[in-house]
Amino acid sequence: MPPAKTSFVCLPCRAAYKQPPPSPPARGGEEDKRVCPRCAGELIHVGVAFAAPPRRDTEGWRVLSLLLHAGVRFHMGCCCGCDGPGYRPLTLREARERMAYARRTGEPLARALVRPDLP
């Protein structure tokens, strides 16, 4: 059975692609680079538990861009695949609330963005 595919995205094209997972980096090397078939830009590996917003959903892609630039990815919570990647904000309002919380408390942005509830 071939290995499960994982998701890669191109933010400028607002496109997602399923491809074989990246090979582990060679000693001291980098992960293999994937290229967007539409614009030849570099694809970002987002993980197996990713569902892309529709291309016309500008707000959804802005939130996704914010998450990816903060270092948040969409990998499964455990190796058996029994739970998903956890909470991710879907709207700019939710993302802004978590960004303000991170600035106020000093919590790392990536951790604040995936926090399901704010205190």
Q: Give residue 113's pLDDT.
A: 92
**Domain presence at residue 118:** no
- Residue numbers of the domain that contains 26: 6-113
Residue 28 CA: distances (Å) to CA of 24, 25, 31, 57 = 11, 7, 10, 39
What token pair was written down for 74?
């969409």
What token pair was written down for 68?
């990816």
Q: Beta partners for 16?
A: 9
72, 47 in Cβ contact below 8 A? no
What token pair was written down for 77?
């919570």
* pTM, 2 dp: 0.82
How buried is residue 86: exposed, middle or buried, by Cβ count under 10 Å (0-12/13-18/19+)? middle
The mean of the pLDDT values for the chain is 86
- Confidence grade of residue 87 (pLDDT, cut at 50, 70, 90): confident
- For 26-37, what is the mean pLDDT? 77
**Domain presence at residue 119:** no
**Domain presence at residue 1:** no
**Domain presence at residue 50:** yes
Query: Going by DSSP bridges, is the β-strand pair 44-47/6-10 parallel, antiparallel, or unpaired?
Result: antiparallel
- The domain tally of the chain equals 1
| CA atoms of 60 and 58, how far apart (whole Å) | 6
Q: What is the CA radius of gyration of the chain?
A: 15
